[in-house]
Amino acid sequence: MVVLLAILVTQVTGCYRGHSPKVAHPAIVTASEWGSNPDPIPADRAQRPDRITIHHAGVAWRAGDDPIQKLRGLQEWGKRERQWPDLPYHYLVAPDGRIFEGRPTSFVPESNTNYETRGHIGVQLWGNFEEQRVGREQLEATVHLVAWLCDQHVIPPSTILGHRDVADGTVCPGNDLQRYIDEGDLRVWVAEMLARRQPDIVLKDALPDGPVEWIPVAASDRAVP
């Protein structure tokens, strides 16, 4: 009887707490590690994430750009100009594959466009993928991050969309990145990781009408913060 009870307790708690991760925790520079300075987020902005939305910065990334400077600049601009208490995105991915934590996923993201943002986890890749091509490190880090998020929050890969799929009036996340969503690659790679397999991430050829310029990944960008 005692043994049976122990098994039952293990099984019941296992449903909630014993979730054994399918995807390893990616390396993430936490908000406190990069020196985030958010305002408190009102309790009515709390959310339970159920989908993933991919963004680009919309500004070309240049060799030597500093992600931490960009994080601070975006956070301060949002607070000052938009009354956003914290960064609009939950995670931000640099061209060298470093992942930075933004707003906690337990709060609704922000947007300059009009759509129902509740439930979304916003993942932004630095760069402008209307003008630049997404590179291997950034794409691989994004796949790992999104797979880990799907695993942690029990989100199906079918919910992964680009910003332009959910809102009018934006080209975000740019043609060179959006096609990995349109053609299903991102969802397949994430599903592979959720099945504990290593995805075969293959970069596509340049689009006939561009962009052709690769996003720069300079040696100076690789330094650990």
Burial class (CB in 10 A: 0-12, 13-18, 19+), 96: buried
Residue 215 Cβ, how far from Zn ion at the closest point, in Å? 17
Q: Which residues of 42-73 are buried (b: 16+ CB within 10 A; e: fewer)?
A: eeebebebebbbbbbbbebbeeebebbebbbe
**Rounded CA separation 14/41 (Å):** 32
Residue 173 near residue 162, CB atoms below 8 Å: yes
Residue 172 Cβ, how far from Zn ion at the closest point, in Å? 3
Strand partners, 191: none
Of residues 143 and 172, the one with the C-beta less far from Zn ion: 172
Count the neighbouring beta carbons within 10 Å of the beta carbon of residue 115. Answer: 15
- The residues in 53-112 that bind Zn ion, with binding defined as CB under 5 A, are 55
Residue 156 Cβ, how far from Zn ion at the closest point, in Å? 21
Query: What is the pattern of x (binds Zn ion, CB under 5 A) and - over residues 109-148?
Result: ----------------------------------------
How many residues sit in the footprint of Zn ion (CB under 5 A)? 3
- The residues in 165-204 that bind Zn ion, with binding defined as CB under 5 A, are 172
- The residues in 147-166 that bind Zn ion, with binding defined as CB under 5 A, are 163
Radius of gyration of the chain (CA): 19
Residue 92 Cβ, how far from Zn ion at the closest point, in Å? 12
Of residues 172 and 190, the one with the C-beta less far from Zn ion: 172
Task: Give, in order, the Cα–Cα distances in Å from 143 to each of 57, 72, 146.
Answer: 18, 25, 5
**Rounded CA separation 94/29 (Å):** 11
E-assigned strand segments in 66-215: 91-93, 99-101, 120-125, 132-133, 160-162, 213-214
Of residues 55 and 120, the one with the C-beta less far from Zn ion: 55
Residue 91 Cβ, how far from Zn ion at the closest point, in Å? 13
Of residues 134 and 172, the one with the C-beta less far from Zn ion: 172
Residue 163 Cβ, how far from Zn ion at the closest point, in Å? 3
Of residues 180 and 191, the one with the C-beta less far from Zn ion: 180
In a 13 Å sphere around the CA of 122, the CA atoms on its Cβ side amount to 29
Of residues 99 and 172, the one with the C-beta less far from Zn ion: 172
Residue 49 Cβ, how far from Zn ion at the closest point, in Å? 17
Of residues 92 and 191, the one with the C-beta less far from Zn ion: 92
Binding site for Zn ion (CB under 5 A): 55, 163, 172
